[in-house]
Amino acid sequence: DSGVTQTPKHLITATGQRVTLRCSPRSGDLSVYWYQQSLDQGLQFLIQYYNGEERAKGNILERFSAQQFPDLHSELNLSSLELGDSALYFCASSVSPGPSYEQYFGPGTRLTVT
Amino acid sequence: AQSVAQPEDQVNVAEGNPLTVKCTYSVSGNPYLFWYVQYPNRGLQFLLKYITGDNLVKGSYGFEAEFNKSQTSFHLKKPSALVSDSALYFCAVRDDRGSTLGRLYFGRGTQLTVWP
């Protein structure tokens, strides 16, 4: 158990809908990352937050947004969902955003868009 | 551009034999290299990392990795494989420069199968 929690574990929804994925980092970790894992794209970095501020942005679609709250938990919002958004979404956290710090991953949220 | 290559989709090895999972990388700055393992329906677990210093890094569950700067490689190794090592292994790199400072770049993963 990494100490990173994600809810829900599974989510099934229809095209055009909006969902929110939630992540709680390990105790003491200030930096949160979101990744998408799919068979065709592999593991893709979406976005990073550090102590409430957006730090780095990756391959995140405009239909997706995220934020980190004062208690350090984070939410990833996915809207106008398409079939191609079906994937495993991981949250990770690290004590610092610096490159030498390993990231600890949550168990993921499996999103299925029908 | 930063990237990671894992040239083998699959590695098969007999229990008790040594195993190697290959990884090469490309970064513009200094590399920070990581190995993660993913079991079915689970998140990624951190195995080990190379930051600086000794080129041979030891990690969890008896795994180690060798950093080779001239070959830009970071191969994962274990002297004696176990059936329980069967899983998907990811190599990842972080850069220490610019706007990509925060992100991990992952390889496509290598499925390791250890048979009894």
Long-range contacts, B64-68 (Cβ 8 Å, 24+): B65/B33, B65/B35, B67/B33
Range A40-54 average pLDDT: 92
d(CA B115, CA B109): 19
Note whether A56 contacts B101, CB cutoff 8 Å. yes
Task: Tell me the pLDDT of chain B averaged across its residues.
Answer: 92
Is residue A10 very low, low, confident or very high in pLDDT (cuts 50, 70, 90)? very high
| Beta-carbon contacts of residue A110 (< 8 Å; ≥ 6 apart) | A9, A10, A11, A87, A88, A89
Q: Does B39 touch chain A (CB under 8 A)?
A: no
Note whether A90 contacts B100, CB cutoff 8 Å. no
Is residue A60 very low, low, confident or very high in pLDDT (cuts 50, 70, 90)? very high
Which pLDDT belongs to residue A96?
85
Q: What confidence tens digit (pLDDT) does each residue in B24-58 have?
A: 999 888 889 999 999 988 889 999 999 988 899 99
Q: What confidence tens digit (pLDDT) does each residue in B97-111 have?
A: 665 566 889 999 999
Is the per-residue pLDDT at A33 higher than 60?
yes
Which range, of A30-34, B10-14, B90-94, B103-107, averages the lowest pLDDT?
Answer: B103-107
- Shortest Cα distance from A45 to chain B (angstroms)? 6
Which pLDDT belongs to residue B101?
60
Residues B89, B36 contacting (CB under 8 angstroms) = yes
| Beta-carbon contacts of residue B54 (< 8 Å; ≥ 6 apart) | none
Which pLDDT belongs to residue B100?
55
What is the SS3 string spanning A21-80? Answer: EEEECCCCCCEEEEEEEECCCEEEEEEEEECCEEEEECCCCCCEEEEECCCCCEEEEECC
Note whether A56 contacts B99, CB cutoff 8 Å. yes
List residues of A whose CB lies inside 8 A of any B CB: 2, 4, 31, 33, 35, 42-43, 45, 48, 50, 55-56, 58, 90, 92, 97-100, 102-108
Q: What confidence tens digit (pLDDT) does each residue in A63-114 have?
A: 999 999 999 999 999 999 999 999 999 999 999 888 888 999 999 999 999 9
Is residue B8 very low, low, confident or very high in pLDDT (cuts 50, 70, 90)? very high
Q: Which residue has the tokens 């195995």?
A: B47
Is the per-residue pLDDT at A50 higher than 60?
yes
